[in-house]
Chain A
Amino acid sequence: MRKLSTAFAILVMVSMVMALAPAAMAQGPVKATPGQAVKMVLLPKFLGNLVFDQAHEGALEAAKELQNPEPLQFLGPTPQDSVAGQIEIVTNSVTQGVDAIMLSNNAGDQIAPAAKAAREAGVTFVTWDSPIPSAEGEQVFVAQVDFNETGRVMAEMALNILGPEGGKFAVLSASPDAANQNAWIAALKEVLKEPKYSKLELLDIVYGNDISEDSYNQALALVDKYPEMKLIMAPTTIGIAAGAKALQDEGLCGVEGQEPKVVISGLGLPVEMVSYTLNGCAPQFALWSFRDLGYLTYYVTYLLATGAIKGEIGERFEAGRMGVYTIEKDPTREKGLRVLMGPFTIYDKTNVEAEAK
């Protein structure tokens, strides 16, 4: 009887090894083991922004799939105190003994000391949406899209809207020290050097500080400042919506059946942009899914915190419904690793209504 059971045990073990071996040999994607307890904090730039709420929903979806018994904490600073608030939350989370922090960084390199302290305390530290530029204290960055690609997509949309003869345009950004926007604008400037985009001329870069009032006024000031300008490119969801409203209010984008003088494009949320796209003020704009970004970030962090992956170049893993991803070197920063989500969705008259529903 005993012999039999021993034999059976050996048989089971052998079959398990056999089952595992090919996967290990072929470097198959790592799968998460559900049900492990990981205290996780999702830290957006600040509370009360639709895109971060969407990311939160995505993370909750992943948390449910992974059956993490620990509740996900969604902690964010107030908009007026974002940098100091993010540092405070990271520091307090470490004190509180959380296992992992997922940060959409709004503090640039100023978060690095707090992030490093968290790493030293053994906390898994992942960034999403916006990385730590120096990558210090961060294990991996879950990139929504390739940051260089963002420049190309903006140039492409500008060319689509202005036609082959091109034209002059200006950029309406978020705040001057917004790391993402600055990286995207730098990429745009690079792309514009290519012969394909030689007809596009970038006139100016102005900042609306991601505040509707400022962005609205900046858009109209651009129109007055550069009468020859045909397009505003706003790589920020708040800027593009406020700018579109300004152009529409001033009758600049052909609302009353006139020839449009100036239109807007950039990165926008379909629900906010749908009416402007349909009336021609914002013929084309792009974005990615923040819900998916939250979902993927949760998976990556869970895998890192449970030790299933180490955060090294070349590691492949499966992130639930979104499929297989690989950790790679981030080509847009000197140091740092990333998981690239992508791609962009370009919205225009044909698809914006369906997405806005």
Chain B
Amino acid sequence: MVHSTISLPQRFLNWLRSWEGLLLGLFLVVLTINSALVPAYLSVSNQVNLFILFIEKSIIALMMTFIIINGEIDLSVASLMGLSAGTMARLFELGAPSGLAVAAALCLGLICGAFNGFWVTVVGLPSLVVTLAGLIAYRGLVWVLVEDRSITTLPAWLCELGQKPLIGPFPLALLLFFGFAIIGYIILQYSGFGRLVYVIGINRDVARYSGVNVRRVKMILFIASGFIASLAGLLYAARLGAMRSSTAEGFELDIITMVLLGGVSIFGGSGSLRGVFLSILIILNLRNGMGLAYLSANVQTGVIGLLLILSVLVPNLVSSLRARMVRHRELTRALEMAESS
């Protein structure tokens, strides 16, 4: 293969010059600035907190990476978080056994995911339309379930699981996040299924003509997305210890921002979970540092928006500048050669 002809240090250098290298550099910058400016930043509790505050979005971002690489989008995830959390809370309120409430909520996630998948794969509607309708409709169902109330009758063990550390200083959600990151990485980067996700994302027609069951892959992805979203919803409800209809409203755009900053192309086919993982680290640490420095939330969102743009713009400018310099150098060399001859 091509790779074998390049030496290991050279490959490492190439990686550093890639998107992920850029993200790693950015992450180190954020890390340095934060620890230099904010004394409390490096404490264990803060390091755990900065994950916990965004853990549900981060978990969904891992799944969303699959969906976007596959050339689709799922805007319904935040509403689905609310719907499954609402279902669980409502069942608990009605006195259902714990296992049933949790299982029902997760099943609902699977069903809604399959519902999204049905319209995309069988009817052939664009996923943007389907999941936009899902965003409205699933949230609507939360209103139907929970109405104007606040459900606080979640069982103690659930709240404990959501709020207290499970192993060492790490709560369950954080462990799940790292677990999913590893499993997701293996599936996407090393399994046959992962390759199909990319192949379909690059060109679904070519994939179909070469015998790939495009529908099946997409269906699996949407069902998985529904499941992960509802799981994240349950974790969120457990962390907050109460359920209201507006729970997790508007999370979808933050999640998509995480994925796109990770270098995943919105048109599908390119990007990696490594990049998304780094991008999650950057966003979380950046927000944490800015929060601890008392910057207003509004400025924080603006900064992340700017970062999102610059992260693509600057490498683009650099590469076009470099191309121009190379051209200029070649031109002068050609001129020199012409003169000397």
Q: Which residues of A contact B (CB under 8 A)?
A: 47-48, 73, 75-78, 80-81, 83-85, 87-89, 91-92, 95-97, 107-113, 133-134, 175-177, 179, 182
Contact A108 B242 (CB under 8 A): yes
Instruction: Report the minimum CB–CB distance from A212 to chain B (whole Å).
Output: 18
**Residue in A84, A113, A177 whose beta carbon sits within 8 Å of that of B148 in the complex:** A177
**Residue in A75, A85, A110, A175 whose beta carbon sits within 8 Å of that of B240 in the complex:** A110
CA distance A274 to B146 in the complex (A): 37
- Give every chain B residue within 8 A of A91 (Cβ-Cβ): 49, 53
Beta-carbon nearest neighbor of A207 in chain B: B148
Given contacts A176-B143, A176-B148, contact A73 B294 (CB under 8 A): yes
Contact A47 B296 (CB under 8 A): yes
B150 at the binding interface (Cβ < 8 Å): yes
B131 at the binding interface (Cβ < 8 Å): no
Beta-carbon nearest neighbor of A77 in chain B: B297
Would you list which residues of chain B between 46 and 83 have a CB under 8 Å from chain A? 46, 49, 53
Known: A76-B297, A109-B241. 12 other contacts (CB 8 A): A47-B296, A47-B297, A78-B301, A88-B53, A91-B53, A92-B49, A92-B292, A95-B49, A107-B240, A109-B240, A113-B239, A177-B150
B169 at the binding interface (Cβ < 8 Å): no
- Give every chain B residue within 8 A of A87 (Cβ-Cβ): 53, 240
Report 21 cross-chain contacts, Cβ distance below 8 Å, ordered by A residue: A75-B294, A75-B297, A78-B301, A81-B250, A81-B254, A81-B297, A88-B53, A89-B291, A92-B292, A95-B40, A95-B45, A95-B46, A108-B150, A109-B150, A109-B241, A110-B244, A112-B242, A176-B245, A177-B148, A177-B150, A177-B245
**Residue in B147, B149, B159, B243 whose beta carbon sits within 8 Å of that of A113 in the complex:** B159
Contact B292 A95 (CB under 8 A): yes
Contact B148 A95 (CB under 8 A): no
- Give every chain B residue within 8 A of A109 (Cβ-Cβ): 150, 152, 240-242, 244
Contact A96 B40 (CB under 8 A): yes
CA distance A84 to B57 in the complex (A): 11
**Residue in B40, B45, B53, B241 whose beta carbon sits within 8 Å of that of A110 in the complex:** B241
Instruction: Report the minimum CB–CB distance from A1 to chain B (whole Å).
Output: 51
Contact A80 B250 (CB under 8 A): yes
Contact B240 A92 (CB under 8 A): no
Beta-carbon nearest neighbor of B300 in chain A: A78
Taken residue by residue from 188 to 199, chain B's Cβ proximity to chain A (1 for < 8 Å, 0 otherwise) reads as 000000000000
Instruction: Report the minimum CB–CB distance from A96 to chain B (whole Å).
Output: 5
Instruction: Report the minimum CB–CB distance from A295 to chain B (whole Å).
Output: 22
B10 at the binding interface (Cβ < 8 Å): no
- Give every chain A residue within 8 A of B288 (Cβ-Cβ): 92
- Give every chain A residue within 8 A of B84 (Cβ-Cβ): none
B225 at the binding interface (Cβ < 8 Å): no
Contact B297 A95 (CB under 8 A): no
CA distance A111 to B239 in the complex (A): 10
Q: Which residues of B contact A (CB under 8 A)?
A: 38, 40, 43, 45-46, 49, 53, 143, 146-150, 152, 159, 163, 239-247, 250-251, 254, 287-288, 291-292, 294, 296-298, 301
Which residue of A80, A134, A176, A177 has the most chain B CB atoms within 10 A of its CB atom?
A: A177
Contact B43 A108 (CB under 8 A): no
CA distance A109 to B146 in the complex (A): 14
Instruction: Report the minimum CB–CB distance from A276 to chain B (whole Å).
Output: 27
- Give every chain A residue within 8 A of B148 (Cβ-Cβ): 176-177, 182
Beta-carbon nearest neighbor of B250 in chain A: A80
- Give every chain A residue within 8 A of B38 (Cβ-Cβ): 96
- Give every chain B residue within 8 A of A77 (Cβ-Cβ): 297
Instruction: Report the minimum CB–CB distance from A316 to chain B (whole Å).
Output: 32
- Give every chain A residue within 8 A of B245 (Cβ-Cβ): 176-177
Give the 3 A-B residue pairs with the shortest CB-CB distance, closest first.
Answer: A109-B242, A110-B240, A176-B148
Contact B241 A84 (CB under 8 A): no
Contact A78 B152 (CB under 8 A): no
**Residue in A95, A108, A112 whose beta carbon sits within 8 Å of that of B244 in the complex:** A108
- Give every chain B residue within 8 A of A113 (Cβ-Cβ): 159, 163, 239-241
Contact B292 A96 (CB under 8 A): yes
Beta-carbon nearest neighbor of B240 in chain A: A110
Contact B150 A179 (CB under 8 A): yes
Contact A83 B294 (CB under 8 A): no
- Give every chain A residue within 8 A of B239 (Cβ-Cβ): 113
CA distance A78 to B296 in the complex (A): 9
Beta-carbon nearest neighbor of B302 in chain A: A78
CA distance A95 to B298 in the complex (A): 20
Contact A177 B246 (CB under 8 A): yes
- Give every chain A residue within 8 A of B43 (Cβ-Cβ): 95
CA distance A134 to B242 in the complex (A): 11
Instruction: Report the minimum CB–CB distance from A326 to chain B (whole Å).
Output: 29
CA distance A179 to B242 in the complex (A): 13
Contact B297 A89 (CB under 8 A): yes
Beta-carbon nearest neighbor of A185 in chain B: B148
Which residue of A73, A81, A97 has the most chain B CB atoms within 10 A of its CB atom?
A: A81
**Residue in A78, A83, A111 whose beta carbon sits within 8 Å of that of B298 in the complex:** A78
- Give every chain A residue within 8 A of B147 (Cβ-Cβ): 176
Beta-carbon nearest neighbor of B243 in chain A: A110
- Give every chain B residue within 8 A of A75 (Cβ-Cβ): 294, 296-297
Contact A76 B240 (CB under 8 A): no
- Give every chain B residue within 8 A of A48 (Cβ-Cβ): 298
